[in-house]
């Protein structure tokens, strides 16, 4: 029978139920298995704690098993009676929370001691129901709503639950957790997330000459050509052997702490053709010769967050890091050539791995907290491994090929961001 009655009311009052006027609405918590205490100074108010609880469970599935009761202690107490009467007199539209603040120190103490219970103050005025919600640690109501008044307990419960308790419920904290939370800084002051992570892909360009530097610095390296698969004027830089200009692709993952210091792990790929001297007839047998460069590394990132617009966060940063470079040779002879030349067999070999450093700067542009564009530029180097001690014959040892290979790069990336407070 009750269900039928409820259906009837829901059916006819569907507009009425959602009608509400918000006087002000500050952030408040709805606890799972909430303790809801109903406080009123009106003697003839139609409200049933049981019906309110039924409505809460129906409207908010996350609320668990709420307990509702009339807050008899506060209805009898002389300190709360004074404030309750005052609220009844003064609840009105166009006020803000501070106008309704409890001023008596005893009353403030009582509100502070509520712990995780929620108090809803109800009063009827001109066929409207004023509802003020109180939580611990705040002398003023967290929210005040003006709702339609109903003479039916079920419907009234439904209206209140709809207006105030639709948000997702939070788990109630244990005693220790409460204690810890009380010592935490107010989330209002926690403007920067504790951890900020991103994952992204970037596309760009790499080349040996640094912009705005004289050409003469690179002329020898860039004009160098390989003769007989191994002869160049100089072998210190790999750019004597392979093309320096290439498109660069990278994927990376990074994280900052408190928006200030962080780390980024990256992988970069580029492909470089060997610079053969076409005038040398030995290369007639050769179809193609190129090197794929794979680099992995880790960089230390220093950044600063600026909230440029409500939807855009700008994060300029600088980075310094180290990397390992691997050059994979990809070579093929023309079809039909069975035996390569002796020079082919004894062609130049690069080191297995080069170790290097990189330095640079950039900026993340984060839109709507999650979607980022990353502009980045820097200089990277790769050289000989310094892990082994120089041997006694070091002086007579030949120069390590590619012992000092420097390039610069610039890239644009798209990223996804998430933050953990």
Task: Rank residues 146 and 315 by Cβ distance to other proteins and give the closer one.
Answer: 146
Question: How far apart (Å, rounded) are the C-alpha atoms in residues 374 and 353?
Answer: 28
Do 201 and 250 contact (CB within 8 A), yes or no?
yes
Helix axes 153-164, 49-59, angle to 10 degrees: 50
Q: Which of the ranges 103-111, 121-129, 184-192, 258-266 carries the binding residues for other proteins, by CB under 8 A?
A: 103-111
Q: Give me the phi and psi of 285, to 5 degrees please.
A: -75, -15
Q: Residue 109 interacts with other proteins (CB under 8 A)?
A: no
Q: Which stretch binds other proteins (CB under 8 A): 102-110, 116-124, 217-225, 297-305?
A: 102-110
User: Between residues 43 and 339, which has the closer beta carbon with respect to other proteins?
Assistant: 43
The first and second tokens of residue 305, run together, are 């967050």
Closest distance of CB 316 from other proteins, Å: 32
In three-state form (DSSP H/G/I as H, E/B as E, the rest C), the secondary structure along 314-368 is EEEEEEEEEEEEEEEEEEEECCCCCCCCHHHHCCCCCCCCEEEEEEEEEEEEEEC
Q: Which is nearer to other proteins, 72 or 105 (CB)?
A: 105
Which is nearer to other proteins, 92 or 359 (by Cβ)? 92
Q: Is 99 in the site for other proteins (CB under 8 A)?
A: yes
373: nearest Cα among 288, 331, 315, 320:
315
Binder among 5, 81, 190, 353 for other proteins (CB under 8 A): 81
When asked if residue 94 is in the footprint of other proteins (CB under 8 A), the reply is: yes
Q: Does 105 bind other proteins (CB under 8 A)?
A: yes
Half-sphere CA count of 92, side-chain side, radius 13 A: 6
Given the rule CB under 8 A, which of 64-72, 87-95, 201-209, 410-418 is the region that contacts other proteins?
87-95
Near other proteins by CB under 8 A: residue from 26, 29, 104, 292: 104
Q: How far is the CB of 10 from other proteins (least distance, A)?
A: 36
From the list 332, 329, 232, the residue with the least C-alpha distance to 280 is: 232
233 bridge partner residues: none
CB of 407 to other proteins, least distance (A): 55
> Rule CB under 8 A: is residue 177 a binding residue for other proteins?
no
Provide the 8-state DSSP code for 258.
T
Q: Does 112 bind other proteins (CB under 8 A)?
A: no
The end-to-end CA distance of the chain, in Å, is 49
- Are β-strands 354-367 and 312-333 bridged in parallel, bridged antiparallel, or unpaired? antiparallel
Q: Which range touches other proteins (CB under 8 A), out of 101-109, 145-153, 195-203, 248-256?
A: 101-109
Looking at 83, 218, 283, 317, which residue binds other proteins (CB under 8 A)? 83
- Name the minimum Å distance from CB 80 to other proteins: 10
Binding site for other proteins (CB under 8 A): 81-86, 89-90, 92, 94-95, 99, 102-105, 107
């Amino acid at each position: 029978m009750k269900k039928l009655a409820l259906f009837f009311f829901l059916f006819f009052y569907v507009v009425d139920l959602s009608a509400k006027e918000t006087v002000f609405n500050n952030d408040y918590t709805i606890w799972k298995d909430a303790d809801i205490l109903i406080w009123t100074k009106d003697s003839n108010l139609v409200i049933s704690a049981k019906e309110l609880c039924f409505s809460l469970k129906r409207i908010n599935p996350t609320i668990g098993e709420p307990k509702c009761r009339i807050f008899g202690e506060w209805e009898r107490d002389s300190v709360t009676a004074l404030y309750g009467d005052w609220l009844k007199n003064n609840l009105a539209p166009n006020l803000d929370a501070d106008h309704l603040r409890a001023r008596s120190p005893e009353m403030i103490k009582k509100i502070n001691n509520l712990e995780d219970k929620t108090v809803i103050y109800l009063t009827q005025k001109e066929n409207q129901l004023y509802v003020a919600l109180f939580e611990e640690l705040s002398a003023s109501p967290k929210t005040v709503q003006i709702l339609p008044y109903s003479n039916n307990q079920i419907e009234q419960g439904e209206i209140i639950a709809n207006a105030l308790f639709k948000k997702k419920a939070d788990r109630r904290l244990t005693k220790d957790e409460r204690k810890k939370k009380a010592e935490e800084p107010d989330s209002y002051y926690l403007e920067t997330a504790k951890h900020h992570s991103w994952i992204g892909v970037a596309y760009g360009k790499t080349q040996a000459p640094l912009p705005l530097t004289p050409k003469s610095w690179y002329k020898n390296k860039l004009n160098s050509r390989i003769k007989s698969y191994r002869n160049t004027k100089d072998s210190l830089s790999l750019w004597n052997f392979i093309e320096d200009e290439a498109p660069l692709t990278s994927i990376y993952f990074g994280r900052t702490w408190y928006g200030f210091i962080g780390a980024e792990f990256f992988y970069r790929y580029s492909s470089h053709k060997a610079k053969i001297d076409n005038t040398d007839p030995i290369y007639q047998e050769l179809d193609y010769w190129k090197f794929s460069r794979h680099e992995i590394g880790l960089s230390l990132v220093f950044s600063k967050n600026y909230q440029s617009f409500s939807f855009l966060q700008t994060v300029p940063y600088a980075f310094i890091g180290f990397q390992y470079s691997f050059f994979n040779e990809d070579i093929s002879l023309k079809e039909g050539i069975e035996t390569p030349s002796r020079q082919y067999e004894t062609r130049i070999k690069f080191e297995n791995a080069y170790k290097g450093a990189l330095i640079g700067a950039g900026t993340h542009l984060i839109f709507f907290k999650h979607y980022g564009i990353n502009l980045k530029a820097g200089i990277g180097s790769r050289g000989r491994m310094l892990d082994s001690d120089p041997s006694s014959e070091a002086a007579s040892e030949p120069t390590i090929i590619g012992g000092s290979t420097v390039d610069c790069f610039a890239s644009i990336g798209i990223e996804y961001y998430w933050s953990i407070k």
